């Protein structure tokens, strides 16, 4: 039997996802999103939790798939409700995202088809980037930025 495709836009229920702040020294790795929500904005790597997968395993897998790095999970930063409604008030997107602080162990940095660009950035670099609201809040939570 084929697995049912997850309906991301106008879902029937919230979707479980993960995100990773990958920090190395005074830099974090950001990705420019190819798809909604947040298309064209800079954010952190991440994706959906698969059925039967532990959340921490999902974050390691998603980082490897999206940016080519193997990471060590340091700690849970936050669990975020990302609910976006359309003009009529209907829920267009609803993700519950467990966001982790991670550090790179190995791998070669290479973006997947899901992202437009990726780069290591410092605090100063962020001034010229349009970040997603969630990304900005997470960077504040770990003390990377103060705004």
For CA atoms 120, 122, 125, 129, give the dihedral sign.
positive
Banded pLDDT at 146 (limits 50, 70, 90): confident
Assess if residue 72 is contained within a domain: yes
**Tens-place pLDDT, residues 64-100:** 999 999 999 999 999 999 999 999 999 999 999 999 9
Question: What is the C-alpha separation between 97 and 44, in angstroms, rounded?
Answer: 12
Asked if the structure places residue 5 within a domain, the reply is no
Q: Decide if 26 is inside a domain.
A: yes
In a domain, 147, yes or no: no
Question: Within 10 Å of residue 107's Cβ, how many Cβ atoms?
Answer: 13
- Give me the percent of the chain exceeding a pLDDT of 70: 96
Cis-peptide, bond into residue 37, ω within 30° of zero:
yes
Give the integer Cα–Cα distance in Å for 66 and 34. Answer: 12
Q: What is the pLDDT of residue 6?
A: 77
> Domain for residue 7, yes or no?
no
* Total count of domains within the chain: 1
Task: Output the domain CATH number for residue 43.
Answer: 3.90.79.10
CA distances from 138 to 1, 59, 101, 116 (A): 39, 16, 9, 21
pLDDT, one tens digit per residue, over 105-122 is: 999 999 999 999 999 999
Q: Does residue 1 form part of some domain? A: no
pLDDT of residue 2: 42
What's the average model confidence in pLDDT over 120-145? 94
Q: Do the domain assignments include residue 8? A: no
Range of the domain at 111: 15-141
pTM given for the model: 0.90
2 inside domain: no
């Amino acid at each position: 039997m084929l697995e049912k495709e997850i309906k991301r836009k106008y879902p029937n229920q919230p979707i479980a996802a993960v995100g990773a702040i990958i920090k190395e020294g005074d830099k974090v790795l950001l990705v420019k999103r190819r798809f909604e929500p947040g298309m064209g904005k800079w954010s952190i790597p991440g994706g959906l939790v698969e059925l039967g997968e532990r959340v921490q395993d999902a974050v390691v897998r998603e980082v490897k798939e999206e940016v080519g790095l193997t990471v060590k999970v340091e700690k849970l930063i936050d669990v975020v409700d990302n609910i976006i409604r359309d003009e009529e008030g209907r829920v267009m997107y609803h993700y519950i995202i467990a966001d982790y602080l991670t550090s790179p162990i190995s791998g070669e940095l290479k973006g997947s088809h899901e992202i437009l660009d990726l780069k290591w950035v410092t605090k100063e670099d962020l001034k010229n980037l349009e970040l997603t609201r969630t990304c900005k809040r997470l960077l504040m939570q770990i003390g990377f930025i103060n705004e």
